[in-house]
Amino acid sequence: MAVNGYQFDRSKVSAANDANLYDYLNACTSKVLPNRGDELDIIVGTGDVVIQTGTALIQGRLVEITEPLVITLPNAVDGYISITLDLTQINSSSGTPGQSDYSVINNQLRVEFVTTLIQGDTLNNDLIYTFPLASIEWSSGELNAIKNEEAYSEIFGIPYIYPSLNSGVSIISEDYLPGFRMKRGRLQMKGALITNGPRTLFVLPPEIIVKERMGFTLAQVSSVANEKATIYLHTDNRVELLAATNYTKGVWLAIDIDIT
């Protein structure tokens, strides 16, 4: 049959089917999940690290560490602490499915130290994906573990990126620096800018894909309620100020829009 349905009565649902669904529902991102155990916190020793309890969703596959896990590291070798999905391996089981004696040995999952990351897409026929929790660096014999901000972004909060402003555009205050970020498929902007006329304010990086031209009516930095500005987001990633009631008062970049 050319059409398959999985969330239907008596359907056969594989781990890959579930992973495709959960990955999409999580905006196609792999993350450490907040408020689960100790959020996979990392404690650094003299020659090892301890991964605390917690949960991650990695390419749609839920991974849980239920007790602290010690990873012994090779001396003076830089690399990464990785949760590795390895679909080249075959899981084994014992007992009767659905009964209390049933158990699975998962050979497709490891928490390990690696020197090289393999970033395969296990949802599209690749077999190995290494999800870096932290990078390992040695300096003068001292071990350091730097958490991967992208992996822990739901816990740290996704940082804003502060763009280079075009000529004729300036900030209003160091307290309101203009910035942008992508969070779960949404483009968010903050801060305030001022310019002496219509122009491109800045350009978003190419990894942010704007599929269609979008316009926004935003408040100006003014005590007058009806002073507005019009901002356009273009498919070539330009963020352009087209019109304003009063250009000299600046505009608030209060934007939160789904661009998926």
Residue-wise pLDDT tens digits, 107-150: 999 999 999 999 999 999 999 999 999 999 999 889 999 999 88
- On the question of pLDDT at 153 being above 80, the answer is yes
pLDDT of residue 35: 86
Specify the higher pLDDT residue, 226 or 30: 30
The verdict on 182 and 104 lying in the same domain is no
Domain termination residue (choose one: 91, 121, 156):
156
The verdict on 89 and 140 lying in the same domain is yes
The verdict on 79 and 195 lying in the same domain is no
Q: With CA atoms as reference, report the closest residue to 229 among 256, 192, 204.
A: 192
Domain termination residue (choose one: 101, 135, 156):
156
- Segment (H or E) for 57: strand 54-58
Residues 59-84 have a mean pLDDT of: 97
CATH number of domain containing 107: 2.60.520.10
Max Cα distance, the chain (Å): 75
- On the question of pLDDT at 48 being above 90, the answer is yes
Tokens of 65: 């560490």
For every residue of 176-208, DSSP letters joined together read: G--EEEEETTEEEEESEEEESSSEEEEE--TTS
- On the question of pLDDT at 1 being above 70, the answer is no
pLDDT of residue 260: 79
Residues 229-240 have a mean pLDDT of: 96
The verdict on 144 and 219 lying in the same domain is no
Q: What sign results for the dihedral spanned by CA atoms 98, 100, 101, 103?
A: positive
pLDDT of residue 159: 81
Q: Are strands 79-86 and 69-72 parallel, antiparallel or unpaired?
A: unpaired
Is there a domain that residue 52 lies in? yes
pLDDT of residue 84: 99
Rounded to whole angstroms, the Cα distance separating 85 from 62 reads: 11
| 0.75 exceeded by pTM | no
Residues 43-49 have a mean pLDDT of: 93
Q: How many domains does the chain have?
A: 2
Domain termination residue (choose one: 156, 191, 224):
156
The verdict on 182 and 240 lying in the same domain is yes
The verdict on 131 and 212 lying in the same domain is no
pLDDT of residue 157: 78
pLDDT of residue 149: 86
CATH number of domain containing 241: 2.60.40.1830
The verdict on 98 and 140 lying in the same domain is yes
Tokens of 247: 């250009």
Q: With CA atoms as reference, report the closest residue to 133 among 67, 43, 66, 36.
A: 43
Specify the higher pLDDT residue, 184 or 200: 200
Is there a domain that residue 5 lies in? no
Confidence of residue 155 (pLDDT cuts 50, 70, 90): confident
Torsion from C-alpha of 207, 211, 213, 218, nearest 10 degrees: -60
Is there a domain that residue 34 lies in? yes
pLDDT of residue 97: 87
Q: How far is CA 15 from the centre of its chain?
A: 23
Q: Contact 145/134 with Cβ under 8 angstroms?
A: yes
The verdict on 61 and 145 lying in the same domain is yes
pLDDT above 70: percentage of residues in the chain: 100
Helices (H) and strands (E) in the chain, counts: 2, 22
Residue-wise pLDDT tens digits, 18-28: 999 999 998 89
Place of tokens 């009631």: 245
Tokens of 126: 């690749």
* Region class of 133: left (phi > 0), else alpha (psi between -120 and 50), else beta: alpha
Confidence of residue 217 (pLDDT cuts 50, 70, 90): very high
Structural domain span for residue 218: 169-258
The verdict on 139 and 175 lying in the same domain is no
